Amino acid sequence: MVKIGVLALQGAVSEHMNSIEACGAEALIVKSTDDLTLVDGLILPGGESTAMRRLIDRYDMLTPLIEFAKTEKPMFGTCAGLILLAKEIVGDDSAHIGALNATVERNSFGRQVDSFETQLEVKDIATDFPAVFIRAPHIVEVGSDVEILATHEDKIVMVRQGHLLGCSFHPELTIDYRITAYFTEMVKESLAKKATV
């Protein structure tokens, strides 16, 4: 069975675990470098990116996460997880994992009180995905190797770069599992490719 981990330092962990299991994969909690070695793909959940980074540093996980991204095992960052994945962050001097060739801006859609849900068209996935935005970032610009999968109000909110997937919203906060299923397929394809090498 495909094993997908959820970085479980802070944020919407249990919701992602439920969505992974609903897609027929095994969900694993990732809290250490050793845990990373057990998974075929990794989800970086929504939450608070600054708090997540403090915990990543506390548990010495930044370098292992950077190395994980280089293995080409699929990674999926949602909301704060997108910020962790991005190569550049507006207003910050340095990135975190820095694997996704994109520039991200925090809190692009307002504060917590401005949270909303909208129907999104997501390329190759859905014409009507119920996207939940909570203090969401957006993607300001992307490199030529990054495919834009969804926009909202002319702002980029979901992208894919090879084995990396990132979105501004929270797919795990709905019972619509199509985006998690898409990521699960990315992980299966990655495993199949390695098996033929």
Q: pTM for the whole thing?
A: 0.95
* pLDDT single digits (tens) 173-190: 999 999 999 999 999 999
* pLDDT single digits (tens) 113-126: 668 999 999 999 99
- Whether residue 141 lies in the annotated active site: no
- Whether residue 152 lies in the annotated active site: no
CA atoms within 13 A on the CB side of 185: 8
Residue owning tokens 């949270």: 115
What secondary structure letter does DSSP report for 32? S
Structural domain total, the chain: 1
Lowest mean pLDDT among 46-50, 143-147, 151-155, 157-161: 46-50
CB-based contact 157:78 (threshold 8 Å) = no
Among residues 15, 16, 23, 79, the one annotated as catalytic is 79
Burial 103-112 (b: 16+ CB within 10 A, else e): bbbbebbeee
Under the banding of pLDDT at 50, 70 and 90, the label for residue 197 is: low
Mean pLDDT of the chain: 93
Q: Looking at residue 155, which CATH number applies to its domain?
A: 3.40.50.880
User: In whole angstroms, what separates CA 190 from the centre of its chain?
Assistant: 17
- Whether residue 16 lies in the annotated active site: no
Structural domain of 100: 3-196
